Amino acid sequence: MTQAPINGQAEGGLEPIIRCRGLTRTYIKGDNTITPLAELDLDVARGEFIALMGPSGSGKTTLLNLVAGIDKPTSGSLRVGGVELADVSPSRLAAFRSEYIGYVFQLYNLVPVLTAYENVELPLLLHRLSGRERHQRVATALQLVGLADRHDHFPRQLSGGQEQRVAIARAIVTDPRIIVADEPTGDLDKESAAAVMALLEQLTAEMGKTIVMVTHDPKSAAHASRVLHLEKGRLVVQDERFATLAGA
């Protein structure tokens, strides 16, 4: 695990797949202006695994939602895959997310009345694929996460760790360039969390996926290639104690 510079810029001179310059998001709540993200500069290289840490309300999930095209910045620049997201129309944003983004949620967000196979297949229904092509992609994704033998199980028949692996299969089934993960191990036991983190590492190492993960867990953060800390919407210096805690 390498230490992040203060400005959070990627090392090695590679063209970043994510580039933020002066990225700011503000909300109006009554008479107050809330700024969860303020003047953030950040480069993320292709194939990097970034962990975002910080207290609640520090802007971590706001940054994920901006990168995923779910939200739009108030000011500043956010380029993902060379696309300036602030300039993209809502209709084109859907196509962008389908091509670039896979989202993994803390609480899985599986549809309870659908099987594991059907949950993974859902994103593919937005693509012009034949039934055979969809089947091949779903089968490959479930095989990758080690759940091919659970394809016909409903979420209630799966453990929490298995549900999260189905959610990861759903996130990667469209072969996105970037995976954003919001507390992917936050609701899991120690053994299941370790399995999920090993899977995310595999996606980076073997498939070249770029991963941006929010976590409060130092052990999960230790799997990332870089750890960035946010406080009050700004990047701060990495605290090396997290690496010590992760190895405890």
Q: Express each pLDDT in 174-189 by its tens digit.
A: 999 999 999 999 889 9
- The model's confidence at residue 133, banded by pLDDT at 50, 70 and 90, is very high
Per-residue confidence (pLDDT) for residue 66, from 0 to 100: 95
- For residue 109, the tally of other CB atoms under 10 A from its CB is 12
Rounded to the nearest integer, the mean pLDDT of the chain is 88
pTM value? 0.86
Per-residue confidence (pLDDT) for residue 3, from 0 to 100: 35
Name the β-bridge partners of 32. 29
Cα→Cα distances 168→41, 49, 84, 108, Å: 28, 15, 26, 9
Distance CA 194, CA 27 (A): 36
Per-residue pLDDT tens digits for 53-99:
999 888 999 999 999 999 999 999 999 999 999 898 888 888 888 88
- The model's confidence at residue 106, banded by pLDDT at 50, 70 and 90, is confident
Sequence letter at residue 50 = I
Least Cα distance to 51 among 163, 246, 195, 216 occurs for: 216
Helix (H, G, I), strand (E, B) or coil at 241: helix
Per-residue confidence (pLDDT) for residue 136, from 0 to 100: 95
- Is 60 exceeded by the pLDDT of residue 10? no
Per-residue pLDDT tens digits for 23-61:
999 999 888 998 999 999 999 999 999 999 999 888 999
**All domains of the chain, ordered by start, with CATH?**
2-246 (3.40.50.300)
